[in-house]
A and B are shown apart, each in its own frame.
Chain A
Amino acid sequence: MKFGVVQFPGSNCDFDTLYALQNVMKSPTVLLWHKDHDLQGVDCVVLPGGFSYGDYLRSGAIARFSPLMQEVKAFARKGGHVLGICNGFQILLELGLLPGAMIRNKNLKFLCRHVHIRIENEKTAFTRAGRKGQVLRIPIAHFDGNYYAPARVLKDMERHGQIVFRYCDAAGNITEEANVNGSLGNIAGIRNRESNVLGLMPHPERAAEALLGSEDGRTIFASLILSLGRRKPARRPVRRERARHD
Chain B
Amino acid sequence: MKVRILVSFKDSVLDPQGQTVKNALHTMGYGVVKDVRQGKVFELELEGATKKEAEALVPEIARRVLANPIIEKFDWQIIKGR
Residues of A within 8 A of B (CB): 57-58, 61, 94, 100-101, 103-108, 146, 148-150, 182
Contact = CB atoms under 8 A, between A and B. Distances in A.
Contacts of B16: 103-108, 146, 182
Contacts of A146: 16
B70 A148 contact: yes
B71 A57 contact: no
B11 to A, nearest CB: 12
A13 to B, nearest CB: 23
Interface in B4-61: 9, 12-17, 20
B17 A104 contact: yes
Contacts, number: 35
Interface residues of B, number: 13
A103 B70 CA distance: 11
28 contacts: A57-B65, A57-B66, A58-B68, A61-B65, A94-B68, A100-B70, A101-B70, A103-B9, A103-B13, A103-B14, A103-B15, A103-B16, A103-B71, A104-B16, A104-B17, A105-B16, A106-B14, A107-B16, A108-B17, A108-B20, A146-B16, A148-B13, A148-B70, A148-B71, A149-B70, A150-B70, A182-B14, A182-B16
Contacts of A105: 16
Contacts of B17: 104, 108
Contacts of B68: 58, 61, 94, 101
